[in-house]
Every structure is written in structure tokens, then in C-alpha cells.
Amino acid sequence: MDYFLELFLGGLTRGSIYALIALGYTMVYGIVQLINFAHGEIYMIGAFTALIIASVLTILGLNSIAILVIATAAAIVYSSAYGYTVEKIAYKPLRNAPRLSPLISAIGMSIFLQNYVLLAQTSDFLPFPRLIPEFAFMEPVSHIFSSAELVIVSTTMIVMVLLTLFIKFTNIGKAMRATAQDKTMALLIGIDVDRVISVTFIIGSSLAALGGVLIANHIGQINFYIGFIAGIKAFTAAVLGGIGSIPGAVLGALILGWTESFATGYVSSDYEDVFAFALLVLILIFRPAGLLGKAETKKV
Amino acid sequence: MAQEILKSLKAALWFMFLTFPIMVIKVNTVYKTIEWRWMNMIFIGVGIFVGSFIWRWLLNRKDRPVAKKDFVPVSTRVQAYLAENPMAKRALQGVLLAALLCFPIFMDAYQINIFTVALMYIVLGLGLNIVVGLAGLLDLGYVAFYAVGAYTYALLNTTFGLSFWLVLPIGGALAAIFGILLGFPVLRLRGDYLAIVTLGFGEIIRLVLENWNDFSHGPSGIAGIDKPDFFGLELNLNQMTDAIYYMMVAFTIITIFFVGRLQNSRIGRAWLALREDEIACQAMGVGRTRTKLMAFALGATWAGLMGVVFAAKTTFINPASFTFLESAIILSIVVLGGMGSIPGVILGALIMILLPEYMRSFSEYRMIVFGGAMVLMMVFRPQGLVSNFRRKYSFHGVDERLGG
Amino acid sequence: MKKLLLFAVLAAMFVFAGCSQKPKEEAKPAEAPAAEAAAPAATGDVIKIGVAGAHSGDLASYGLPSVKAAEFVVKSINDKGGLLGKKVELVVVDDVCKPEVAVSSANKLVSEHVVAVLGHICSGATKAAMGTYLAAKIPVMSPSATSPELTKSGEYPNFFRTIAPDDSQARLEIDYITNVLKLKKIAIIHDKGDYGKGLAEFAKGFAEADKKLEIVLYEGITPGAVDYSAIVQKIKQSGAEAVLYGGYHPEAAKIVTLLAKKKMNVKFVSDDGVKDDTFIKVAGQYAEGVYATGPKDVSKNPLAIEATKKHKDAYGEDPGAFYLNAYTAMLAITNAIEKAGSTDYDKLTNALRTEDVETPIGKIKFDEKGDAIGAEFSVYQVKNGVYVEVQ
């Protein structure tokens, strides 16, 4: 039973990590119907920014809480800035292009950003400073659930709730939903679609940055390549849950996390990714629009 | 003008801010030292300031032709001209063929080898073009079929000693079967759902090859695969390189011919129709299942055949050659060249394969230029290098009858 | 079909390729020359030695040190007047550790008429390239390709290496766990890679043959995954007393960290891929007590000291992975050319097998299969943030 609980908690953490990245994918997809392959790199840049800023501040001798706050804030600011810029450069000129062109542009952007960080920084793994302190009250259970894991899981939950409220009740949130439904119609009723798209990229990127900081802190090391694998998994999670749906992304991510964790624990980690993708295929066969996705009825 | 300068200035400042932590600061976390590379910031500032003028100029230029109604892109005009003048077409084909055949006489083994690889990617691109370009099914796991072909030959050759020419059709057929196997469950899926499932399928094949040691020798791969046998001749290394090159030339020509015919066949038109409007197409009596499965199977066949050639050419394969990046490169060939267009795919393959190869002296900057070029290509020419030339059918009978 | 555009591009490529090719064409005696005749005759007054390996991409840090090592050796030889009265020249090619690229690289080196090759870095790439070199009769010496197959299969008579093969490393690790640590239950984990999984397979084979160790878990992990807590739980559940890990340092650091965080008391024994200072930097305090095997300590060898000093003087930092092995390989190749008095394949390989040479890793020569006699492994442990040789 303990073993089951441990695997359950491990899967929960892993799923929460995927969720933070998957939210960005799903939001962008919902608005512009684009698989933003560079999203994983935005997450990587967030982690790198946090690492650099935190290291500089450590050398300058600030206290750890201040470092945590400033480094996270910097990561969010810079990731959003990158997300915004990437959209303006690589996607906006392609609004009316054939459907596959932005996808290729996104793959190109992903390769570009990876190598940009590789050249400007290093190809080696860098140790990530431990920013999140160990909480005293977690001490008795820390061997099965650490403080960092608690922070990851709770952050994801809070973010998901806030994001849902944001999209439901704020003006810009409503504009986002309108744009997602029908871009032309949204334009006609006076919504600044370009601005909505920018905001979407900024929010998605800041969530990725948050994910980047939390995961880097949890794993303790980063390099220029971490975005790619995390990105693919998060995208799988988003599709699993029904791309375009925010609770769907979180649900999909958690299911993916648990699948991998239990597959490793009870079967074999050799085939952990095989299980993940096989599950995706299975679910899509029975629900072609994902778990919480709206089944599209195409009108003729 | 002042406005333009202000715009560029803003862009420069923005990028200086953007690249600040990653370009300027370099921390050594072990020795606790910070290196400030302010020069980089100046380079970025100046580079972006100049670059942003060029960027806006190019963007403006790209938008302009749309306004001109009669504008016909060069590639389309050339294609139209050739379609109307069979003589010119024949002559051009002859010259090209002669150039391809004479190529090995002037070049060394290294150049021939690179060109052989480029030809392989042309065939792969044309194969994927059937699925993506013609049938409009976004396939991100195309490399899985390539792997199926490669492993078919590697295993049959090393365990049973079967020859290259015997396995070639087997590899193609097996890949086609895998294509149908993948095709069945994903028939209902649309667009990007299909993309992610095919991506997952590609990963599953690679992971199985990596983990199932008894079957595929796992990550250490299979070595000592026989090179193709050419009429029992004893060939040394250089002659073998030439022979494989000529084989690939023949392969490429056959593929071009086949895909060209396919495009204008009944099934080819059905794909185009299906791509444009699935429901209308079904209403016209085109069987969706059959048509889509045909696309998957035929596309996969080419990948399988190339897989066999690949295994025979390198004599060693391991799962590392069949990653997602490989699928992405083949897809980029199709999109970069211009979807659905055969000359486009050829051009795309030559650029995507030869460019990084000849850029090898830049080594570390190679990939960043590659990624950047992909983005720029798409931004300034989203329809690809060669836009698809559509055959026009005009019906003259009506006017005449009405007139008479 | 209409291929005017294609033609234009092809024509451009021809011109481009032709221009870049001209100087070399002149050196080429006749078209399609017999491989044997081509090698020494065409080289003129320089001796070309190829250096192949990953010089870009994520494994660049394993390949670049070998280029530097080769440059230092060549410089000192040329300063003394060269080899057999000729200057030595390096031809450096990048294979990004990919088999298919390695074949192209090998073709390039063959067409450049190199007399020997230092490389490749990764075993997979090396295997892929060997066929090309064998057909052209060029000896190849790798500083880092440790796959046992390369020497033991006997398929590559022109292959040599200055590093011990994986199976000897696995043997040492298993012996150390059984005899020195005196443990009974081990978990063998690998990273599914060529190197890691190969090593793990050997370790498994040895442990099963010895019947003194019980393998309670044998599994592969996915490199680059966001989290390894599930596999760590599984190690805990299996009751293993030691973890034998086959793979590289990034994943090892993550697992070691998690093991410590989950308060598990297991010994961690790993390989040369983990015996890297980056591992200690990344895993920090959690790296303490980790065992790793690596080439035996040569810090007192005068040649090693000299080689390291050259690097420090030129680049201001310590050399990277496999630097000394590459330095050794370069010395062995040039020494063999000197002793053989020729660059002829048969004389060269014979000299490699018979002539002892003083190198940074000790006095070595090569056995029939191509493994270096005198290159061995020993066990290291992290103590106070540095790897210390234990015995």
C-alpha cells in the first residue's frame, strides 16, 4: 500500500509538471490552432534565466527568500518576453499562410532557441540552486513526499483555478474565448485579436517559466535540451485531455503522469513512454477529440 | 524615415533587453564568478537595428505582389511553359539526366556519398508528400516506416543472409502493412490529433527497437550488414559508392515517374478532393477509408524501400537514426519545397540535406543557422519554394455549341 | 515533369562543389583509383591524420578534447621536424556521434588520403564508419569507443583503442561490489543507450555467472525525463543494497539526488561516464560516497602532467573527457609511423602491435584484437567533493 501511495504521489508530481507546460500548449492551440513546438524551449529559457539570476544574486549575497522571488519573477518576465517575440517573428506573419507553414516555422524556432542557448551558455548540465526551502512540517513525510513536490503540486492546482477564473470572468478572458470560437466574428465585434493572441502567448509562457523554475529546482540540473522532451510530453498531455480545454490539459497531464509512474512501478520503466503513447492512441480511438474536448460537428 | 529609424531603435532595445541574461551574463556556479559579456549586447543591438530594416523591407515586398492581380510567380510560369512545350521539357530532362550520370566522374567519394544521401531524402520527401501534400494527412512519425525498412533488411540479412534485392520488396511491403496498421485507428482523427498520434507511433517503434534486445539488439544496433550486391561483381569502396549512387539515381527517377503518375490518377485526384473537403468528397462517392489507407500505405512503402537502402548503405544501424528530428526534417523538406509539388520536394531535399553538409565548416553555428533559416523561409515564402502548379482543364465545347 | 528550377539549383551545386573541390582533384592520381594505391602515394610531402568525433551537438564535450590533444601532439612533432621528414597535418571532421554522419565523415577522410584516424568518439558511430576505413585500409584508433564488440568480434582488424572495453569495466564493478563492499543484492539500472545498456548487460551476465550476487532489479530509464521518482521507489521496493548504474552523469546525478532525498541507504556504483567532475558539481553534497570506475590514476605520470600542463597553458582550464586517451592515441599512431618507417597499412599495424610506446597512461602496445595492453580501470569514490582512487 505504501508503494502504491508513493507511486501515486510520484505520478501526481510528474503530472503537475506536465500540466504547467501543457496549459501553455492548450491555450495557444485554442486561440490560433497552432502546435507551438517552441513552447518547450520557452520553458527551458525560463529555467535558464532563473538559474543565471539566482546565481548572480547568490554571489552578491542576498538571502534565499529574496533570491527565490526575484529569480522566479525574472524567469516569468523573460519567458513571457520570449513567447511574445517568438509569436511576433515566427507566427504572426504566417496568420494567413497554409496550415503547415507555422508548424515548420515552430520547429525551426525550437531548433534555433535550443542552439542559441547552447552557444551563448554551455552544452554541459548546470547545477540548479535549491531555491525552495525544506519545510519543517513536511519533515516526517519527506521521504515519500518532499517540500519541493508539495510546492509543485499546489502551484499547479492554484494556477489552474486562477486561470479558469481569469478566462471565465475577466474581459480579456472573454475576448479570448470569443477569439477561440470564431476569429473573424471576434474581429467584427471589435475585439483586438492580435492583442488577444499576444496575451495568450504571454500567459502560456509565464506558466511555462513557472514550471521551468519548479522542475529545475526539483531535478537540480538543467541544460539546453530539457525543453524538447518535456514539451513533447506536455503536448501529448494536452491532446489527451482535449486540446483547447484548460481542465482537460490538467486532467490529461495527471493521467499521463500516473500512467508513467505506475507503468514504471508495476511493469517496467523500459517501456514507460510506450505506455504513455499507447494510452494516447487508445483514448483518441474512443474519443477522437480527447477526454474533455468538444466533439466537433462539422457543418457543411 | 524618422519613424522607420525609431521602429528599428525600439526593436534593437527590445532585443538587447531580451538577450541580456543569456547572452551577457555567464556564471560559473562552481567558482562563483560572473563574466559580463557586454560586447555581445552591443553586437545584438547593432545587428537587430540593421536587421529590422531588412526584415520590414522583406515583409513589405512579400505583401506587395498580392495586390498585383496578374502576378504569376516565376516557378509557376516555368512550370506552365514546360507543360505546353514537351520538346523543351524533354531537352531539360535529358540535360538533367546526363548531369546526374556524369556526376561521379568529376567528384570524389565524399561528394558522391552526400549526393546519394540527398537523393535518398528526395525519395523520402516524395513518399511523405503523398501523405501530407496530396492527401493532407499530417504525419509526424514518418521515420517509423523508414526504421521498419532498415530493420527488415538488417535482421533478414544478418540472421538469414538474404540479399538486398530480395529484401527490398519485403521491406517496402512490410512498411506498407505498418502504414495500414497505423492508418486504421487514426482514420477518424483530424488534423493535429492525427499529428500527435503519428508522432507517438513513431516514438513507440523507436522505443521498442531500443528496448527489445533479443529482437533488435537494442541501442547497440546491428553491425556488419551487407552492402547491395550488383550482379555478383567484386567492387572496391569507390566503385561501391558509385554503384549505390547510380542505384539511387534510378530509384529517384522511378519514384518521380511513379508519384507523377499517381498524382494525376484516379486515386491521386481522390486524395486532393479528400484534402480539400472530406464531406463533399464522400458525398461524391469516394470511399474515405480506402483512400486514406492507400495514402498511408503508399507513403510508407517508399520509406520502407529507403530504409532498406539506408541499412545497406551504412552497413550499421541503431535506433538513434530514427528520432523525431528525422521526421521533422523530412516534413520540412515537403513543406519547404512546396506541398504537393514534385520539383518543390526535390529542391527542398537538396537544400535541407546539402546546406548543413556544406556548412560543416561552421560546425557549431550550423544548427542555429538551420533553425533560423527554416523560420525565415516560412515567414517570407510560406507556400514553399515552388508553389504547386495546378493543371487547368478548360472546356471549350460549350461556347462553340452555343455560338453555332 | 518540369525541373528547370531543379536544374538551376543542381547546376549551381555542381559549380559550387566543383570549385571547392578543384585543389583536391589535382592531387587525385586517376579516377576511381584502387584504394591501396591511393593512400600513401598521393599525400605528397605531408602526412595527414584524420580526427573524427562529435565536435558539435550535445556530445561535443566528449569529442572536442581529442581535437585539442591531437593538435598539441602534432605541434610538438612538427616543431621537431616532423615524421619521416614530412610535416604532419590534421584533418578534423565532425560526426555528431551519429552513425550515418560518421559514414560521410569517414568517406571524407578517405578521400583526403589520411594515413590513420584518431576517433571516432562514440561506439555506434565508430562501428558504422569502420567498414569504410577497412575497405580503404586505414588504421583507426579511438580514445573513447568502449564497445567490446569493436575488438572482440574480430571484424575490425584495423581498429585500436587506448581505453579499456566496457566488459572489463563491468567485471571490475561486479567484483568490487561482491568482494570489497560485500553486498548481496543489486539493482542494475541503465540509460538505454549504447554505452550504458551494453555495460549493464555485461554486468548482468557476470553477476549471473558468479552466482554470488542477486539481481533484484534490471531496468532502463529514459534519459532526459522530467522526473525519476518512480524508478527510485522501485529500487527501494526491490530491497537492493547497491545500485549499479550504466550511463552518463546527468541521469546519475538525478538518481543519486533522489535516492538521498528519499533517505535510502544504498551504495551507488557507476562507470566512466559518471566519473566526471560535472557529476560532482551537479549532484553536490549528494555525490559523496558514490563509486565510479575510470581509467587508472595517472596524475603522477610525467607525460600526463606535461599534456595537462600544455592544455592549461593554452586554454586556461583543465582538459575535458578522454583528453589523455586521445593524447595517448596520437602518440601511439605517430610513434608507429616513425618505427615502421612508412605509412603503409601492414607495416603500421604491425608496429602498433609490436612496439612499446611511453604515453600519458603508461607504457602501452596493442594486442592482436586492438585493445591496449596497459590501459586498465580502477575504482574511484567521491570524497569531499573529489574523486579519489580506492583500493
Give residue B389's pLDDT: 61
Domains of chain C: 36-163+301-375 (3.40.50.2300), 167-289 (3.40.50.2300)
- B15 plus B124 within the same structural domain: no
Task: Clarify whether residues B119 and B50 are in a common domain.
Answer: no
Instruction: Tell me which DSSP letter residue C113 carries.
Output: T
Return d(Cα C159, Cα C142) in angstroms, integer.
8
Q: What is the pLDDT of residue A205?
A: 93
C358: helix, coil or strand? strand
What single-letter amino acid sits at A294? Answer: K
Query: Do B195 and B343 meet the contact criterion of CB atoms below 8 Å apart?
Result: no
Closest Cα of chain C to B74: distance in Å? Answer: 10
In a domain, B192, yes or no: yes
Tell me how close the Cα of B295 comes to any Cα of chain A, in angstroms: 18
CA–CA gap between residue B255 and residue C198 (Å, rounded): 40
Query: Chain A contact for B203, CB < 8 A?
Result: yes
Query: Which pLDDT score is estimated for B348?
Result: 87
Single-letter code of the amino acid located at A101: S
DSSP, res A132: S
pLDDT of residue B30: 65
Residue A156 and residue C275 in contact, taking contact as beta carbons nearer than 8 Å = no
Lowest mean pLDDT of B129-133, B315-319, C96-100, C119-123, name the range.
C96-100
Count: domains in chain B: 2
* Cβ-contact B93, C3 below 8 angstroms: yes
| pLDDT tens-digit readout, C98-113 | 777 888 888 889 888 8
Query: CB-CB: which of C222, C236, C282 is closest to A221?
Result: C282
For residues C192 and C178, what is the distance between their CA atoms, to the nearest angstrom? 25
pLDDT at B151: 93
Residues facing residue B36 across a β-bridge: B25
Sheet (strand C362-366) strand order: C357-359, C362-366, C372-373
Q: What is the DSSP string of C189-234?
A: EE-SSHHHHHHHHHHHHHHHHH-SSEEEEEEE--TT-S--HHHHHH
- List pLDDT tens digits, range B130-167: 888 888 888 888 999 999 999 999 999 988 888 889 99
CA–CA dist B201, B324 (Å, integer)? 11
Cα–Cα distance measured from residue C10 to residue B402, given in angstroms and rounded to the nearest whole number: 50
> Looking at beta carbons, which residues of chain C come within 8 Å of B242?
32
| Structure confidence by residue, pLDDT tens digits, B175-192 | 999 999 888 877 777 767
Nearest Cα to Cα of residue C95 among C143, C132, C129, C70? C129
Closest residue of chain C to A146, computed from CA coordinates: C261
pLDDT bin (cut points 50, 70, 90) of residue B65 is low
Q: Closest partner residue to C21 among B107, B315, B363, by Cβ?
A: B107
Higher pLDDT, B109 or C251: C251
d(CA B359, CA B347): 17
Cβ(B329)–Cβ(B356) under 8 Å?
A: no
Work out the percent of chain C whose per-residue pLDDT is above 90. Answer: 13
The SS3 assignment for A144 reads coil
The answer to whether the CB of B238 falls within 8 A of the CB of C35 is: yes
Q: Which residues of B touch A98 (CB under 8 A)?
A: 339, 382-383
State the pLDDT at residue C23: 37
Domain that holds residue B42: 2-67
Q: Check if the beta carbon of residue B158 is closer than 8 Å to that of residue B222.
A: yes
Q: Give A127's contacts in chain B (Cβ within 8 Å).
A: 29
Cβ neighbours, 10 Å, residue C23: 8
The answer to the question of residue B96 being in a domain is no
Residue A16, C-alpha cell as written in the block:
503537475
Q: 3-class SS at C370?
A: coil
- Same domain, yes or no: B359 and B221: yes
Identity of the residue in C221, C227, C231 whose CB atom sits nearest the CB atom of A17: C227
Q: Which regions in chain A score pLDDT beneath 50?
A: none
CB pair distance less than 8 Å for A270 and B199: no
Q: Are B336 and B377 in contact (CB under 8 A)?
A: yes
Confidence of residue C57 (pLDDT cuts 50, 70, 90): low
- Establish how many alpha carbons lie within 13 A of residue A260's alpha carbon, considering only the half-sphere containing its beta carbon: 31
Say if residues C216 and C238 touch (Cβ distance below 8 Å): yes
Residue C233: pLDDT over 80: yes
Contacts of C284 in chain A (CB under 8 A): 127, 220
pLDDT of residue C2: 41
The closest alpha carbon to A287, from B199, B188, B200, belongs to B188
Q: Is C346 on the interface with B (CB under 8 A)?
A: no
Please, what is the Cα angle at A61 between A58 and A66, to 5 degrees?
A: 75
Alpha carbons C140 and C322: distance in angstroms, whole number? 16
Residues B328 and A94 sit within 8 Å (Cβ to Cβ) = no
Does residue B21 sit in the same domain as residue B154? no
Domain termination residue (choose one: B17, B44, B67): B67
Q: DSSP letters along C27-88, please?
A: H--SSS--HHHHHHHTTTTEEEEEEEE--SSTTHHHHHHHHHHHHHHHHHHHHTT-BTTBEE
Q: How far is CA B240 from CA B221, C114, C115, C117, in A?
A: 23, 20, 21, 22
Q: Do B235 and B356 belong together in one domain?
A: yes
B25-28 and C185-190 strand pairing: unpaired
**Predicted confidence band of residue C36 (pLDDT cuts 50, 70, 90):** very low
Determine the residue type at B361: S
List chain A residues with CB under 8 Å of B27: 51-52, 55-56, 59
Q: What is the pLDDT of residues C314-360, one digit of tens each?
A: 887 778 878 888 999 999 999 999 888 888 888 888 888 888 888 88
* Judgement on whether residues B21 and B121 belong to the same structural domain of the protein: no
CA separation for the pair A48, A128 (Å, rounded) = 9
- Nearest Cβ partner of C193 from B117, B219, B260? B219
Q: Pairing between strand C214-220 and C242-246?
A: unpaired
Residues of chain A contacting residue C256, judged by C-beta atoms under 8 Å apart? none
Distance between CA atoms of residues C130 and C105, nearest Å: 11
> Do B148 and B220 belong together in one domain?
yes
For A39-53, what is each residue's pLDDT tens digit? Answer: 999 999 999 999 999
Domain ranges of chain A: 14-223
Query: Using a CB-CB distance cutoff of 8 angstroms, which residues of chain B are in contact with residue A100?
Result: 132, 138, 331, 335, 339
Contact at 8 Å (CB) between A47 and A75? yes
- Quickly state the pLDDT bin for B364 (edges 50, 70, 90): low
> Exposure pattern of A146-171 as b/e (b: 16+ CB <10 Å)?
bbbbbbbbebbeebbeebeeebeeee
Residues A162 and C2: their CA atoms lie apart, in Å, by: 57
A35: nearest Cα among A46, A24, A20: A24
Check whether residue B144 and residue B196 sit in a common domain: yes
- Judging contacts by C-beta atoms under 8 Å, the chain A residues touching residue C233 are 3, 6-7, 10, 265
Please judge whether A220 and C233 are an interchain contact, meaning their C-beta atoms are less than 8 angstroms apart: no
Q: Is-contact A43 A233, C-beta < 8 A?
A: no
Residue type, position A219, single letter: I
**Cβ atoms C158, C345 nearer than 8 A:** yes
A200 near A172, Cβ under 8 Å?
no
Buried-state track A81-99, b at ≥16 Cβ within 10 A, e below 16: bbbbbbbbbbbbbbeebbb
CA–CA dist A268, C221 (Å, integer): 9
Rounded Cα distance, B138 and C377, in Å: 51
Q: Roughly what angle, to the nearest 10 degrees, separates helices B109-129 and B288-314?
A: 170
CATH number assigned to the domain comprising residue B335: 1.10.3470
- Is B89 within 8 Å of chain C by CB? yes
| pLDDT one-digit tens code per residue, A129-187 | 777 777 777 777 777 788 888 888 999 999 989 999 998 899 999 999 898 888 888 88
Q: What is d(CA C227, CA A265) in angstroms, rounded to the nearest whole number?
A: 13
d(CA A121, CA B169): 48
Distance in angstroms (rounded) separating the CA atoms of residues B314 and C258: 41
**CB–CB of A225 and C224 under 8 A?**
yes
| A18 contact C CB<8A | yes
- For residue B122, which of B385, B281, B352 has the smallest C-alpha distance? B352
The reply to whether A126 touches chain C by the CB within 8 Å rule is yes
What is the per-residue DSSP string for B45-63? HHHHHHHHHHHHHHHHHHH
Separation between Cα atoms, residue B64 and residue C72, nearest integer Å: 57
The pairing of strands A221-222 and A126-127 is antiparallel
CA angle, residues A253, A255, A257, in degrees to nearest 5: 70
Report residue C384's pLDDT band, with 50, 70 and 90 as the boundaries. confident
> In the numeric block, which cell numbers belong to residue C107?
568517406
Q: What is the longest distance spanned by two Cα atoms in chain C?
A: 74
d(CA C51, CA C334): 13
Chain B residue at shortest CA distance from A91: B379
Name the minimum distance, in Å, from the CA of B311 to any CA of chain A. 25
Q: What is the DSSP letter of B388?
A: P
**Cβ atoms of B319 and B219 closer than 8 Å:** yes
Secondary structure of residue C376 in the 3-state scheme: coil
Cβ within 8 Å, pair C111-B342: no
Please tell me the predicted confidence (pLDDT) of residue C29.
37
**One domain, residues B15 and B119:** no
Task: Report yes or no: B172 and B148 within 8 Å, Cβ to Cβ.
Answer: no
Cell of A148: 519541493
Tell me the backbone φ, ψ of residue C373, rounded to 5 degrees.
-85, 120
Separation between Cα atoms, residue A281 and residue B198, nearest integer Å? 9
Judge contact between A3 and A265, C-beta under 8 A: yes
Q: Cα separation of B292 and B184, whole Å?
A: 9
The model's confidence at residue C295, banded by pLDDT at 50, 70 and 90, is confident
The H or E element spanning position C347 is helix C345-354
